[in-house]
Amino acid sequence: MTERFSSSLGFVCIVGAGPGPLDLMTLRALDRLRRADVVVHDRLVSTEVLDQIPPQAQRVYVGKALGDQAVPQEGIHALLVAHARNGRRVVRLKGGDPYVFGRGGEEVQALQSEGIAFEVVPGVTAASGCSAAAGIPLTHRNLASSCVFLPGHLAQDDATHDWLALARPGQTRVFYMGVQRLAQIAERLFSHGLATDTPAAIVRDGTRPTQTVIACSLRRLIEMAPAYGPQPGLLIIGETVRMSPHYHAD
């Protein structure tokens, strides 16, 4: 793939930038970024990662926030295809991992349908990066034999997921962008049998110097949670949260 990315033919590399810090980006991701002609990047990519873009490369911002999209997803697809057809080396730069709530799969489908050559470079996803930085194992032989990654918006509809299964013990539940809907998520879990004193944590700006962690019982976390804001936040629910040095029992 390195040779194809170096060629004069149009090529798209969908790159996971990781959770923020440059030193949590993979060597392959950094290599592709430093040789790009065009970089199409998201909102949550850190400044220190963006600083690695070649000065002569074209930057295209396509960030999304709740209720605000700089460019619709179909427009992003069109950008990638158009630049690749012009013979350019295109990096689609995403926070975390492209295939974990990053819509990378949709972008790959769009490239395949247009016959555009591509590769996908994985990144450290927020669930593993932020949980590790907060001292919370995602799995533990005695506490959690599985972990589940979920989008926070699932709480909007009781029928979108098996909440009874999610309320069962022995698992770690990680909700991406779950801060805004914390109360709804907790209500769903409590109503399906989860104990209200189950440990839970909110990790904001995980792995970055500005990281903050609130860890306590889920019941108490509802009261202590910060207001939703521009900082990315991860909600983690499960017994392994007790292992965090930030955890405070009620």
**Secondary structure string (H, E, C) spanning the chain:** CHHHHHCCCCEEEEEECECCCHHHCCHHHHHHHHCCCEEEECCCCCHHHHCCCCCCCEEEECCEECCEECCCHHHHHHHHHHHHHCCCEEEEEECECCCCCCCHHHHHHHHHHCCCCEEEECCCCHHHHHHHHCCCCCCECCCECEEEEEEHHHHHCCCCCCHHHHCCCCEEEEEECCCCCHHHHHHHHHHCCCCCCCEEEEEECCCCCCCEEEEEEHHHHHHHCCCCCCCCEEEEECHHHHHCCCECCC
Which residue among the candidates 42, 94, 97, 205 is catalytic per the annotation? 42
Task: Decide if 94 is catalytic.
Answer: no
Cα 130 from Cα 210, distance rounded (Å)? 12
- CA torsion through residues 207, 213, 219, 225, sign: negative
Task: Decide if 158 is catalytic.
Answer: no
For the annotated catalytic residues, the residue numbers are: 42, 64
